[in-house]
Each structure stands twice: as structure tokens, then as C-alpha cells.
Chains A and B, each alone.
Chain A
Amino acid sequence: MHNKSVAELSRDLAAGEVSSVELTQHFLDRIKQEDSKYNSFITVCEDEALADARKADERRRQGDATPWTGIPFAHKDIFCTNGVRTTCASKMLENFVPPYDATVTANFRDAGAVCLGKTNMDEFAMGSSNETSYFGAATNPWGSDLVPGGSSGGSAAAVAARLAPAATATDTGGSIRQPAALCGVTGLKPTYGRVSRYGMIAFASSLDQAGTMARTAEDNAMMLNVMAGYDAKDSTCIDRAVPDYTATLQEPLTGLKIGLPKEYFTDQLSPAMAQTIRDAIAEYEQLGATVKEVSLPNANLAIAAYYVIAPAEASANLSRFDGVRYGYRCEDPRDLLDLYTRTREEGFGAEVKRRILVGSYALSAGYYDAYYLKAQKVRRLIQQDFVNALKDVDVLMSPTCPSPAFATGEKANDPVTMYLEDIFTIAVNLAGLPALSLPAGLVDGLPVGLQIIGDYFSEARLLNAAHQYQQVTDWHQRTPE
């Protein structure tokens, strides 16, 4: 049952072959039996899930079901869930129970989906290995000594280990695509503004975007159908019609023009990685696509721009954690300053503090122009590169990350080395474009992700391209062990 896709489970529920209660109990049992190995969940909501499953079965009996009614899934622990602890993997929010739902949470609730629990992540989504989680790192189902990637590492591990058929995720610099690649699942970061950020705990507001993670492109399309759309509660959300993302999955790829950014195919890519990506692109040519080289001349500046903009915005967003209104508060503060400084010292982990300090420095008097303003200008150069490249081609393809999953601890003590993990994913966030990662082969027995980048609001095309590839390959069906 746990090897079935969301689409298959949805059909089984509609045909009455299984009930949501049975399905939900099955996944809860799997989490109980297996998750001590992966630590992919921070919170499991057994009682709430079974109550929601009973409601879903009742709703189906009344003939009011949606494709998601009764489907179990998991939320990254960054989405506020009314009445269920939402930690963002931080000591600061260890006991935070939100009094409201994120819009993404409400959308799944309205569709009748059943939330199994909240998945592990890097603290406040800052990390590429899941190792900054206050609740301990999640591990990669492909190897207990390997990281699942981050920040949405728990979502990727849970889907790869078949503990949930799908999970929500967020992507600020690669936090959906990189863990999806490292765990061998399919993940989509939509266009900035396509999905509401309301109730999604903020990291870097001009880059953060909620997205999808599941084994198949079709399941990602089903998720985006629920998540996408305008929301007046998020002032950066775009008011634009939402297509049915499943409706165009079957379209042939004949004539699809693929661009390969030459800056993403450099010597730093191992021969085995490069060959795997070339094989995947050859498969696309078999499907009728044409390929040409394109250039993103400012690609080398993306990491630098990101590590000014993201920490700067984070330093502002995380100033709200003051020990006064909610969250952690230090013991016996002497005075107000002691309350603030000690609460934040004790409540935040090392990487979060580093980023707040870098951001505060970049925004401080005398440095704003040299750092933040300069980075925002470079950001436009990077965006223009993509706009120019996408005039000639429909999509861009590249590896999602430079290598397969790395060992726990390998990069944990060197922030700059860890930052380079996002070298192929980060520019997409700066430009606000949609991109997905899909499993495209194995190197050393570990999954490799192919990244497909599209023009603004081209999610349907990206999902179509991924779905067609998954009709002729089975990399997305491979399981660890």
C-alpha cells in the first residue's frame, strides 16, 4: 500500500477498495516501526490524523470527496498547523502551538487530506543537510551515514522511505530540490508568489516559496493543484488563474527546446555525475526534444548575492523572537536587555545565529550600500540572464547538485563549503523562477537529481516534462536497499 502513488491511492479510495482510516493507520504504523532509523518526523499526530481520516471517510460517503479526501501526507514543520506543535526545528519554538493554520495547511484541510505529522528540517530552514535541526538530524534512507539534504530533509526522507506518499516543503535556496535529489524523489519549487506564504514561518521573504515533494511528477501536480492560488493574506502572492496541473501531463514533448547552461556543466562536476545528466538529456532527445547550449554569465555571483540577501532578510524576520509573546524565554531575566539577548542566545542554534549576525552586519550603518543594495542589483543581473536564455529555449536543464548525498558531519563545521552545495539551485530563487528536481540515475548506488528550470508560471510545463520522462524511465521508482 505504501508503494502506491497519491494518484493510485486516490483511485483506490474512490473505488472503495480501501478506507482513509485503513490507509492512515498503515502509514502511522510504518512511521512507528521505521522512523527511529530516519528521524524524519519531529511530531506525529496520530489522534488528529485518525480523527481526520474518519471525517474523510464520512465525507466520501456523502459524495463530497476531492482527489485528496482521505489521502495521508506530511507537512514540513515550518507550516503553522492550528493546535499542532510547529517548531521550525528550533528550540525557540519547541513548544509553540499555533492558534491558526497556514494557508497551505488550510488548503489541504479543506480538500480533506489527512496530516500524519510534521517533518524534520534544518533549523528555520537554514541548512543543506538537516544537521542544524534542534531535534537531531534526519538521515537519508539510502544510507544511515548520509545526510538527506536540506532544509526539507525530513520531507524528502519520509517520502523516500515510504512513510508518507507526499509531503509539503519550502525552498529558499534549493531546500526542496536538493533534498529531493539526494533522497531520490521528485520535488517542485513553484514561481515566487504562486503559493501563499501566509503561516509559513519566514526565513528570507523575497526568496521563500512553498512547494511539493512526492515520488512522481503526477503527485507533485496533484499537490500543486491544492496549494497554488492567490491569497490576500500574503501581499507578495500573485493574483493569476491556476490551471489544472494534471491536465497537461500527457502532452508529448515533441519540439521541446532544452537549454543547457554551460556554467552548470563545469569541471567541478565528476565525470560520473556529468554522464548521468547527459544520459537523462539524451532520453529527452528520444522523446522529441532538441538541445542547445545557453549561457548564464553571472551565475558565479549567485551564491554571493544569496548570502547577503538571505541573511539580511532573516535577521529582520527573526527579530520577532524576543521571548515576550510566544516561544522560548530564558530563565530569570535580570532586565529587558538580558531577556532579549539571553533568550536569543539560548533559543537559536549556531547556524541561525551566524546568519542573523551576517545579515545584521550587511544591513548596519555604513554597509547597506556595499552589501544589500549591491546584492539586489546583482540579483537583477542574474534574473536578466535567465530571461535572455529563456527567449531561445523552453526549459533549462542541469544537475540539481554537484554530487550525490554526502556523509553526516562531512561539511557541518565549514559553513562556506556547505553553502556551495546549493551552487546550481540558488540562482533560481534569486530570479523567482519555478524549477523541479527529478530522479535521473544513480552514481555510486545513490540517487542523482536532474533540475529543470522554466519561465515564470511554467509549472505545468515542468511537470509535463518530468511526467513524460517518468513514463519511459523508472529512476523515480527505485527504492533504497
Chain B
Amino acid sequence: MTISREDVEKVAMLARIRVDEQQVSELEKDLGNILNLVDQLQSANTENTEPMAHPLDAVQKLRADEVTETNQREAFQAIAPATEAGLYLVPKVID
């Protein structure tokens, strides 16, 4: 399995991580090696095998639709990089 420069750039954009020219070259090699390692999977016969998500095949528990958490906006926003009037600040999105 090989991975191209374009693949690396595309997946970096999907993951919202900026990569510079030199990093793309390194990642092309590193990701290629890792994908070669995981390609062993293709040799396994899994024709009648169900995928496994939880080792004990447990399912999500349901709970009553009741409010259990109290509002802690001040505590949460105290650790945010930028807030104003109870809102999280990001660069302008709409002109």
C-alpha cells in the first residue's frame, strides 16, 4: 500500500492539521510504512465474522430523560482561550 502526497494533504485537511512541505514528505514515508504494517489484515479470512465493538458485546444503557447536570458555564468558560458575555469567541465567520 502506498500513499501519495495528495493523500497526505487531503487527510491532513480532513483532520484539520496544517502540514508544511517537509512534513508531507516525512508523513508520506511514515504513513506508508504504517499502512504496510496493517495490510497484513487483508490476509485474514473474516467471511463469516461479525465486527466486534465491545469485548463483552455490551449495549448502551438507557436512562430516564431527566436533567441530572447543573449548569456550570462559568467554571467551563474560565478555562477557555477567549470568551465574552458567556460566549466562546472565534475569528469572524460571516461577513
Contacts and interface: CB of A to CB of B under 8 A. Distances in A.
Interface string B25-42: 001001101110111111
A381 B46 CA distance: 8
Interface in B44-95: 44, 46, 49-56, 58, 60-61, 63, 72, 75-76, 78-82, 88, 90-93
Contacts of A341: 13, 16-18
B59 to A, nearest CB: 9
Contacts of B75: 99
B41 A333 contact: no
A86 B52 CA distance: 32
B38 A339 contact: no
Q: Which of A96, A300, A307, A361 has the most chain B CB within a 10 Å cutoff?
A: A361
B53 A96 contact: no
Contact of B76 (A305, A307, A325, A374): A325
A433 B15 CA distance: 31
Interface string A314-350: 0100010011111111000111111111101100100
A319 B18 CA distance: 14
A375 B52 CA distance: 9
Nearest to A235: B60
Main secondary structure of the interface of A (DSSP, over half): helix
Contacts, number: 171
B88 to A, nearest CB: 5
A99 B72 contact: yes
A307 B58 contact: no
Interface of B: 3, 7-8, 10-19, 27, 30-31, 33-35, 37-44, 46, 49-56, 58, 60-61, 63, 72, 75-76, 78-82, 88, 90-93
Interface of A: 96-97, 99, 191-193, 206, 232, 235-236, 238, 298, 300-301, 303-305, 307-308, 315, 319, 322-329, 333-342, 344-345, 348, 353-354, 356-358, 360-362, 364, 370-371, 373-381, 383, 415-416, 419, 431-433, 456
Closest 7 CB pairs of A and B: A432-B55, A376-B51, A377-B46, A329-B81, A380-B52, A341-B18, A345-B18
27 contacts: A96-B79, A192-B54, A192-B56, A206-B54, A232-B61, A235-B60, A301-B41, A308-B38, A319-B16, A322-B16, A324-B90, A326-B80, A328-B81, A335-B93, A339-B90, A341-B16, A342-B18, A354-B30, A358-B35, A361-B3, A374-B44, A377-B50, A377-B51, A378-B41, A381-B49, A383-B55, A416-B37
Given A361-B11, A377-B46, 19 more contacts: A96-B79, A99-B72, A206-B54, A235-B60, A303-B37, A304-B38, A305-B38, A319-B15, A323-B81, A324-B88, A325-B76, A325-B80, A353-B17, A357-B8, A357-B31, A374-B46, A377-B51, A380-B52, A416-B33
